[in-house]
Amino acid sequence: MTELPANPALSAPYPPNLALELVLKSAPPEEILDAYGISVQQFVEISKNPAFAAEYKELAEKAKEEGFSYRIKARAQSEAYLKTSWDMVQDKETPPSVRADLIKWTGKMAELEPNPKAGPEASAREQIVININLGDGDVRTIDGISAVIEPAVQTAQQITHPLPA
């Protein structure tokens, strides 16, 4: 088997499920840290990490919601499968269709594909909107790509091929 590139998920400043396990109180904090091989001093440093603090706070808030335990356990499994997914995608012996499915699944989980159910709010983020403030409260808005591109093309054509006067 060929050597695989380094998995970026393994280079995080703290283990991916540490905050989750602490929020769920799956064991006493000392046991959780011990299971990850983290000393108290190392945890003090991890807890100063803004990303860790934000993740812990977010998970603690979500823990109050109904159904959180099931969803979060599924999320934890999904996080754990990222290493396996990475290894399979990088392994040239994995069938191309499986590799493609894993890549698509990862993109979907990372919310990198458009959501057709999101409605006009989502599509509005993908459009160009230009606001021009002309002073004295006169603000003009140009919506859409064609409203910007077509006049620009016409202007460029007039500059390169001016109409006879």
Whether residue 154 is predicted with pLDDT greater than 80 in this model: the reply is: no
Locate 134 and state its tokens: 């002309």
For the chain, what is the radius of gyration of the CA atoms?
Answer: 25
Residue 1 domain-assigned?
no
User: Using 50, 70 and 90 to split pLDDT, how confident is the model at 13?
Assistant: confident
Query: Which domain, by its residues, includes 81?
Result: 8-113
- Indicate whether 145 belongs to any domain: yes
- Per-residue pLDDT of 76-94, as tens digits, reads 788 778 888 889 988 989 9
What is this structure's pTM?
0.44
Domain count within the chain = 2
Tokens encoding 55: 């993740």
Whether residues 45 and 88 share a domain: the answer is yes
Amino acid at residue number 55: E
Q: Are residues 34 and 61 located together in one domain of the fold?
A: yes
Whether residue 13 is found in the same domain as residue 35: yes
Q: Does 123 lie in the same domain as 139?
A: yes
Indicate if 109 and 122 belong to the same structural domain.
no
The answer to whether residue 3 is domain-embedded is: no
Cα dihedral value 22, 28, 30, 31, nearest 10: -100
125 and 106 belong to one structural domain: no
Most confident of 11-15, 35-39, 152-156: 35-39
Question: 117: which DSSP letter?
Answer: G
Residues 46, 51, 54, 57: what is their CA dihedral angle, to the nearest 10 degrees? -40
Task: Tell whether 108 and 135 lie within a shared domain.
Answer: no
Same domain, 122 and 99: no
pLDDT of res. 157: 55
Last residue of a domain, one of 94, 113, 132: 113
Q: What are phi and psi of 134, to 5 degrees?
A: -95, 5
Task: State the angle between helix axes of 96-109 and 68-90 in degrees (0 to 180), rounded to the nearest 10.
Answer: 140
Please indicate, yes or no, whether residues 106 and 124 belong to a single structural domain of this protein: no
